[in-house]
């Protein structure tokens, strides 16, 4: 029985030993098959168990170069491929020797692909609307290209579809798909999309689909440039005006606002697509210009709008040709101008003698031909529209030479020595006349003074007998009246009282007619609007 127990104990011991001591094994990580992208780093690890001092070696089944670096450690070995290239597309075999008799091998298949980046879209040439354009889609460093499919789309519309199934490239390649068409303005902003697919069902990698989009862009314009005005291009004084310049252009244009001035000059305003006038005035009326400039296309387009600010008549003025003072018989033209919107209606009035205005006619220019003295007076120009009126006045003077001259000699042109002679003169003229009384003498001409158009010869003698010239003149002309004065000697009278009575009677008889004549002349002068007893110049004797 003791023997039996020993045998059982030995068997149990052997069982425990077999459980604790592992068998010699070899594994490769990752196992069997690996899919990796060209250009990345791949590390293959060969592990052993059950061998204290394994010896490792690596090779390809076709004995091609490894294309990597081997590093051996105590129980494992690594093969590092950095970067992975097309030369690494092999079945790799790891061989491990444990002692002299034990040998084990493990293999792994390395499968490669290359799909490293999204497609690249190029649009050639530099774009201008209306010109042909080529859209090019490039798929960089693809492998295997025989499994590549490419779609080129504009928005959702497929432009071109292409596969490379017949391609037999054995390395990475950049594949290109191109499509040409005529670019229109409607195409601007639409998306061009390139879709590339590398569908390999037997390989597990992501992504198998790459997409790139780019909006169509073209340099064009400016074109269809217009100006919009809010609330409208005919506004009331004080309104706020907003002028907006609208154009089609890419890239966005530079906008410059200008305004035509009355003197045909141009005023630079702002460089913005919106011109704002917060409180419109009549002077804001005019032709506004929006100039759109595209530096990329080197093109410029202009738009104009005529802004009219409605207002009552302003700046009403009267011009008179040749002057406000003309000679009788000449032609004079008075022209009235006024600004306003709507354009003011012009009418002329002349102040009548009663002071009430007398309407003449409606016209900007009033022409009077062959002027007469009755044409002088105050003329009023009235500018009127629905928003108000404005008046201006001018006084027209008609220059008239002396006329209707009346000369009175009191008491008579024939007098006795010792008497006084008074000469009065009345006339009508414009401007007022000046008067000079001259006595013609053999040796010299004697000029006599006047007071208010009156000349007085005091205590005359026979030496005062002679011919006198009365010169009445103004800037327009003159008239000369001739007066012959005769002075006789005084007669001797025996009776002193009789001459006194006779003198008194004569004075009375003469005074009454003279006074009557003066009153008549004065009234007539006033009625005719003329100057009576015109003030004469202060003259030297």
The CA distances from residue 81 to 33, 43, 87, 258, in Å, are 15, 6, 10, 71
Q: Supply the pLDDT for residue 364.
A: 87
CATH code, residues 120-218: 2.60.40.10
Q: Supply the pLDDT for residue 493.
A: 54
CATH topology of domain 311-399: Immunoglobulin-like (2.60.40)
Taking a C-beta distance cutoff of 8 angstroms, is the pair 309, 282 a contact? yes
Q: Supply the pLDDT for residue 211.
A: 96
Q: Supply the pLDDT for residue 536.
A: 32
For the chain of 541 residues, list the mean pLDDT of each consecutive stretch of 10: 45 45 86 90 94 92 89 94 92 92 91 95 74 90 94 92 89 93 82 93 90 87 92 87 91 90 75 89 88 91 92 91 90 91 89 73 88 88 91 91 91 93 90 88 72 87 89 90 90 49 36 39 34 31 26
Taking a C-beta distance cutoff of 8 angstroms, is the pair 394, 351 a contact? no
**CATH 2.60.40.10 boundaries in the chain:** 25-113, 120-218, 224-310, 311-399, 400-488
Listed in sequence order, the residues at least 6 apart from 458 whose beta carbon sits closer than 8 Å to its beta carbon are: 420
SS3 328: coil
CA–CA separation, 287 and 280 (whole Å): 14
Class of 224-310 per CATH? mainly beta
Q: Supply the pLDDT for residue 35.
A: 93
The CA distances from residue 457 to 436, 468, 517, in Å, are 14, 12, 20
Query: 114 — phi, psi (to 5°)?
Result: -145, 115
Q: Supply the pLDDT for residue 101.
A: 83
The CA distances from residue 396 to 96, 327, 336, 367, 400, in Å, are 134, 11, 14, 12, 13
At the fourth CATH level, the homologous superfamily of domain 400-488 is: Immunoglobulins (2.60.40.10)
DSSP state of 299: E
Task: Classify domain 25-113 by CATH architecture.
Answer: Sandwich (2.60)
């Amino acid at each position: 029985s003791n023997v039996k127990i020993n045998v059982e104990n030995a068997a149990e011991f052997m069982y425990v030993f077999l459980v604790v001591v592992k068998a010699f094994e070899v594994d490769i990580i990752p196992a069997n098959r690996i899919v990796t992208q060209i250009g990345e780093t791949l590390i293959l690890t060969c592990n052993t168990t059950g061998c204290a001092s394994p010896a490792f070696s690596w090779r390809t089944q076709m004995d091609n170069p490894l294309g990597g670096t081997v590093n051996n450690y105590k129980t494992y070995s690594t093969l590092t491929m950095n970067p992975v290239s097309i030369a690494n597309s092999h079945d790799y075999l790891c061989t491990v020797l444990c002692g002299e008799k034990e040998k084990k091998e493990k293999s792994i298949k390395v499968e490669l692909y290359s799909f490293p980046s999204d497609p690249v879209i190029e649009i050639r040439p530099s774009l201008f609307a209306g010109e042909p354009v080529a859209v090019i889609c490039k798929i960089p460093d693809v492998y295997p290209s025989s499994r590549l499919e490419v779609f080129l789309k504009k928005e959702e519309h497929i432009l071109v579809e292409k596969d490379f199934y017949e391609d037999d490239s054995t390395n990475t390649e950049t594949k290109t798909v191109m499509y040409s068409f005529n670019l229109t303005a409607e195409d601007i902003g639409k998306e061009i999309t390139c879709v590339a697919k590398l569908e390999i069902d037997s390989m597990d990698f992501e992504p198998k689909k790459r997409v790139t989009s780019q909006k169509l862009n073209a340099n064009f314009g400016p074109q269809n440039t217009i100006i919009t005005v809010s609330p409208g291009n005919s506004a009331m004084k004080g309104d706020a005006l907003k002028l907006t310049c609208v154009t089609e252009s890419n890239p966005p244009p530079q906008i410059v606002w200008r305004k035509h001035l009355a003197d045909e000059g141009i005023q630079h305003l702002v460089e913005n697509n919106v011109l704002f006038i917060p409180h419109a005035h009549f002077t804001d009326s005019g032709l506004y210009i929006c100039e759109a400039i595209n530096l990329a296309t080197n093109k410029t387009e202009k738009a104009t709008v005529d802004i009219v600010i409605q207002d009552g008549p302003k700046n009403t003025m009267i011009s008179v040709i040749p002057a406000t003072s003309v000679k009788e018989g000449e032609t004079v033209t008075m022209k009235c101008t006024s600004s306003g919107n709507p354009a003011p209606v012009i009418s002329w009035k002349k102040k009548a003698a009663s002071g009430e205005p007398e309407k003449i006619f409606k016209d900007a220019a009033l022409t009077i031909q062959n002027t007469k003295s009755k044409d002088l007076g105050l003329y009023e120009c009235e500018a009127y529209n629905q928003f108000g009126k404005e008046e201006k006045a001018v006084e027209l003077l008609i220059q008239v030479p002396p006329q209707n001259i009346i000369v009175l000699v009191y008491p008579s042109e024939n007098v006795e020595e010792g008497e006084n002679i008074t000469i009065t003169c009345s006339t009508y003229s414009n401007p007022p006349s000046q008067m000079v009384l001259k006595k013609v003498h053999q040796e010299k001409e004697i000029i006599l003074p006047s007071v208010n158009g009156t000349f007085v010869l005091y205590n005359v003698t026979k030496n005062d007998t002679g011919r006198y010239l009365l010169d009445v003149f103004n800037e327009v002309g003159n008239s000369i009246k001739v007066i012959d004065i005769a002075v006789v000697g005084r007669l001797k009278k025996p009776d002193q009282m009789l001459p006194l009575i006779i003198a008194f009677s004569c004075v009375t008889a003469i005074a009454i007619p003279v006074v009557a004549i003066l009153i008549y002349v004065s009234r007539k002068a006033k009625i005719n609007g003329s100057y009576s007893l015109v003030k004469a110049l202060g003259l030297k004797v």
